[in-house]
């Protein structure tokens, strides 16, 4: 059992005990396309995989510092950026599909539940929109379902892609576990973030 699986299980245990608190190159594909980073390259590569994994993990880290109602638009932006990094590289076609699935789910959920009473909040160079507080549980469920579906797509990829796709699936799983912890007290959220960040390979 990998350290990632152990840590994810540990966090799940923490959550269940608190009910009162509410990559070297590999698998060389010859498909043409654009790699992460925008260069005219094709095929699977450690650099492209690492870029996407870093975007997903650091993106959720950054989103975690926002008030809860703004997190989902930030999560949406994170998956949009990660998907863009794989766009055009056919070796990552299934991974791109998986990330777009999560992005589209969050885009629709945020759009349908925008809170006009709250002004957008800036984080770095981006502005994030707030959703209605009452909609948070529903959006979390929708996002978690999309992430599970994305994991399934990634883990069912051809054997030649598994080394790279498994790493992306691990990052999505980390996001999913952190999403479940969103209602925990601040100290527990920071602990979860720290544990899962260190579990994803650089």
pLDDT digits (tens, 9 = 90+) for 42-82: 799 999 999 999 999 999 999 989 999 999 999 999 999 99
Residue of higher predicted confidence among 39 and 143: 143
In this structure, are residues 88 and 34 in contact, taking their beta carbons and an 8 Å threshold?
A: yes
**pLDDT-derived band at 180, boundaries 50, 70, 90:** confident
Q: Give the model's pLDDT for residue 42.
A: 74
From the number of C-beta atoms within 10 Å of its C-beta (0-12, 13-18, 19+), residue 39 rates as: exposed
Which residue has tokens 């056919």? 90
Residue of higher predicted confidence among 169 and 18: 169
Question: Among 46-50, 79-83, 85-89, 183-187, where is mean pLDDT lowest?
Answer: 183-187
Q: pTM above the 0.75 mark? A: no
């Amino acid at each position: 059992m990998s350290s990632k699986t152990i840590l994810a299980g540990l966090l799940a245990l923490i959550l269940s005990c608190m009910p009162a608190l509410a990559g070297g190159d590999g698998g060389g594909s010859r498909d043409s396309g654009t790699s992460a980073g925008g260069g005219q390259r094709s095929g699977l590569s450690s650099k492209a995989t690492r870029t996407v994994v870093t975007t997903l993990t650091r993106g959720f880290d950054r989103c975690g510092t926002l008030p809860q109602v703004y997190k989902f638009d930030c999560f949406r932006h994170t998956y949009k950026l990660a998907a863009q990094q794989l766009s055009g590289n056919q070796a990552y076609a299934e991974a791109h599909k998986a990330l777009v699935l999560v992005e589209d789910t969050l885009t629709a959920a945020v759009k349908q539940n925008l809170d006009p009473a709250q002004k957008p909040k800036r984080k770095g160079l981006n502005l994030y929109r707030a959703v209605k507080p009452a909609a948070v549980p529903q959006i979390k469920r929708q996002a978690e379902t999309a992430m599970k579906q994305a994991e399934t797509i990634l883990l069912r990829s051809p054997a030649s892609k598994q080394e790279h796709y498994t790493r992306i699936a691990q990052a999505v799983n980390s996001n999913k576990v952190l999403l479940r912890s969103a209602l925990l007290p601040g100290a527990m959220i920071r602990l979860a973030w720290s544990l899962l960040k260190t579990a994803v390979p650089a």
